[in-house]
């Protein structure tokens, strides 16, 4: 975020404020939502294990991935896969 702000010539705070005004969330939350959306797709459409998916979408550790996934989806990645494979 700081690098981007420097490249476009604004402060990180200003960039974050503009981002939130236009997209409705902070850059961090926006990226988190994109990652979890991609994880859901990978869980449903591949046989990759959860650790592989965690690293593919840019998380550095499984604990952080689980925490964010559960916060957004209401269940663990494993439970999401089980629940949605039955439906499909």
CA dihedral 83, 84, 85, 87 (to 10 degrees): 100
Residue 88 has pLDDT above 60, yes or no: no
pLDDT tens digits, 12-65: 999 999 999 999 999 899 999 999 999 999 999 999 999 999 999 999 999 999
Residue 4 pLDDT? 83
- Mean pLDDT, rounded, for 59-79: 97
Return the closest-CA partner of residue 54 out of 74, 76, 86: 76
Taking the C-alpha atoms of residue 8 and residue 67, their distance in angstroms, rounded to an integer, is 33
Query: CA 19 to CA 53: how far, in whole Å?
Result: 27
Is the Cβ–Cβ distance between 88 and 40 less than 8 Å?
Answer: no
Four-CA torsion 2, 67, 75, 32, nearest 10 degrees: 10
């Amino acid at each position: 975020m700081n690098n981007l702000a420097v490249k476009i010539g604004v402060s990180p705070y200003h960039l974050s404020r503009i981002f939130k005004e236009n997209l409705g969330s902070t850059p961090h939350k926006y990226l988190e939502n994109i990652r979890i959306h991609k994880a859901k797709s990978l869980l449903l459409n591949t046989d990759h294990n959860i650790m592989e998916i965690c690293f593919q979408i840019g998380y550095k550790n499984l604990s952080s991935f689980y925490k964010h996934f559960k916060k957004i989806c209401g269940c663990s990645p494993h439970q999401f896969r089980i629940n949605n494979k039955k439906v499909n």
